[in-house]
Amino acid sequence: MTAPTRITVQGARPYDVVVGHGLLGELGEMVTGAQRVAVIHPASLRATAEAVHEDLPNETHLVEVPDGEAQKDMKVVAYLWDVLGTVGFTRTDAVVAIGGGATTDLAGFVAATWLRGVRVVHVPTTLLGMVDAAVGGKTAINTSAGKNLVGAFHPPAGVLADLTALETLPKHDYTSGLAEVVKVGFTHDPRILDLLGDPRANERELVERAIAVKARVVGNDLTEQGEREFLNYGHTLGHAIEKVESYRWRHGAAVSVGLVFAAELGRLAGRLDDATAARHREVLESVGLPTTYSGDWKQVHAAMAVDKKSRGSRLRFVVLDALARPRMLEDPDPSLLVAAYEEVRKDRGGEVFL
């Protein structure tokens, strides 16, 4: 078996993202010194959580949460706080998150807030979790006002991206994760776009390249004061779609439409050439992601107004000047937003993807 790859995320507290197969044996070292370990997992991953429980020598507590975005709720957070209090969790103990991006977001937030911060290790089991959510220390839950509006920056002690988990991942969940891979292909590493169009491409290389981009960016800018904002490419409209659709849309599907919107916005603003804008739609459709959305513009626009990148009443969008040249577009003319949205409203047929 090929040896695992270790990608180090620099910063005040450096940590490794380990990529490979059969990695659960690495978990023990990441929670060394913790008397108690809380393993947070959705019901669908109970078997994996039980395997971790049997393997760790620590006092291990399995804590089940709902599947999907339903877990990123204040009621679930309060329940988890109660569990940690009941078992006597101290600052030297550790949280382990097993699941997709929603689980790493939730568990990371609970770890960040319990005793003002305890150790957390992420074991992402989805492509989206591996290449995006589990890496970088962003933690958050949702509120009625929008997605990820309550959170904290809390880097993990380590991340185990075990590619074996992807072998049984449902098709739509895997495809959804590709949106984040495509995103960094456009913003930072165009080689990813070439690999996605190559049937001989290696999945591991795609995952490692996407993680390497995230690791480099967040290592330089943990709290999103500069370059890290560019990793939100496509997310302003994407998060708005998720909110308007009451989170029935998968994150990656919504971001995919958001990427097309951002590309069209950049093109209409005179920043991006026609061919690169069109390539967004071509690449996303080639991997099976949606590129159109027909929701009500007023609702979508209102949801975008509470985006984290906004400043006061001014909307801000990540756009491209060219491949791998992301920039912020400040307070664009409303007519440009409407025109860009009309481009994603055009029905080009294809499979309905939620």
**How does the average pLDDT of the chain come out, rounded?**
95
Is residue 354 domain-resident?
no
pLDDT digits (tens, 9 = 90+) for 160-184: 999 999 999 999 999 999 999 999 9
Are 238 and 95 in the same domain? no
Q: What is the pLDDT of residue 306?
A: 86
Of the residues 168, 200, 229, the one at which a domain ends: 168
pLDDT the model gives residue 223: 93
Percent of the chain at pLDDT > 70 equals 96
How many other C-beta atoms are found inside a 10 Å radius of the C-beta of residue 220? 12
Q: Is residue 184 located within the same domain as residue 292?
A: yes
Domain of 297 in residue numbering reads as 175-345
User: Does residue 351 sit within a domain?
Assistant: no
Rounded mean pLDDT, 191-195: 97
80 CB burial (10 A radius; 0-12, 13-18, 19+): buried
CA neighbours within 13 Å on the CB side: how many for 333? 7
Handedness of CA 117, 122, 126, 129 (dihedral sign): positive
Total structural domains in the chain?
2
89-132 pLDDT, tens digit per residue, is 999 999 999 999 999 999 999 999 999 999 999 999 999 999 99
Mean pLDDT across 216-241: 96
Q: Name the token pair of 87.
A: 């078992």
The pair of structure tokens assigned to 167 is 């072998």
* Long-range contacts of residues 64-69, Cβ cutoff 8 Å, at least 24 apart: 65/40, 65/41, 65/103, 65/106, 66/42, 67/42, 67/43, 68/42, 68/100, 68/102, 68/247, 69/102, 69/142, 69/242, 69/247
* Residue with the larger pLDDT of the pair 80 and 347: 80
**Residue 107 maps to a domain:** yes
Phi, psi of 313 (to 5 degrees): -95, 5
Examine residue 223 and state whether it is found in any structural domain, yes or no: yes
Q: For residue 349, what pLDDT is reported?
A: 53
Q: Please indicate, yes or no, whether residues 133 and 14 belong to a single structural domain of this protein.
A: yes
Same-domain check for residues 141 and 234: no
- Asked if 9 and 61 sit in the same domain, the reply is yes
Check whether 62 has a pLDDT greater than 80.
yes
pLDDT in tens, 265-313: 999 999 999 999 999 999 999 999 999 999 999 999 999 998 766 666 7
Per-residue confidence (pLDDT) for residue 189, from 0 to 100:
98
Q: What is the mean pLDDT of residues 57-76?
A: 97
CATH number for the domain including 145? 3.40.50.1970
Q: Which two tokens stand for residue 249?
A: 């849309």
SS3 of the chain: the string is: CCCCEEEEECCCCCEEEEEECCCHHHHHHHCCCCCEEEEEEEHHHHHHHHHHHHHCCCEEEEEEECCHHHHCCHHHHHHHHHHHHHHCCCCCCEEEEEECHHHHHHHHHHHHHHHHCCEEEEEECCHHHHHHHCCCCEEEEEECCEEEEEEEECCCCEEEEEHHHHHHCCHHHHHHHHHHHHHHHHHCCCHHHHHHCCCCCCHHHHHHHHHHHHHHHHHHCCCCCCHHHHHHCCHHHHHHHHHHCCCCCCHHHHHHHHHHHHHHHHHHCCCCCHHHHHHHHHHHHHCCCCCCCCCCHHHHHHHHCCCCCCECCECEEEEEEECCEEEEEECCCHHHHHHHHHHHHCCCCCCCCC
212 shares a domain with 153:
no
Q: Are residues 187 and 328 in the same domain?
A: yes
Whether 353 maps to a domain, the answer reads no
What pLDDT sits at residue 353?
54
- Which pLDDT score, from 0 to 100, does residue 201 have? 85
Asked whether residue 183 is assigned to any structural domain, the reply reads yes
Residue 352 lies in a domain: no
Give the Cα separation of 163 and 170 in Å (integer): 14
**Rounded CA gap, 245 and 146, in Å?**
11
Identify whether residues 95 and 193 lie together within a single domain: no
Q: In this structure, are residues 149 and 142 in contact, taking their beta carbons and an 8 Å threshold?
A: yes
CB 88 within 8 A of CB 36: yes
Q: Reply yes or no on whether the pLDDT at 49 is more than 80.
A: yes
The pLDDT of residue 308: 63
pTM recorded for the entire structure: 0.94
Domain final residue pick, 168, 192, 222: 168
The answer to whether residues 207 and 160 belong to one domain is: no
Is 280 among the domain residues?
Answer: yes
Q: Do 215 and 341 fall within a single domain?
A: yes
Together in a domain, 205 and 309 = yes
Residue 269: CATH number of its domain: 1.20.1090.10
* Residue 186 shares a structural domain with residue 330: yes
Is the pLDDT at 85 greater than 70, yes or no? yes
Of the pLDDT bands very low, low, confident and very high (cuts 50, 70, 90), residue 348 is low
The residue out of 148, 168, 188 marking a domain boundary is: 168
Q: Is the pLDDT of residue 354 over 60?
A: no
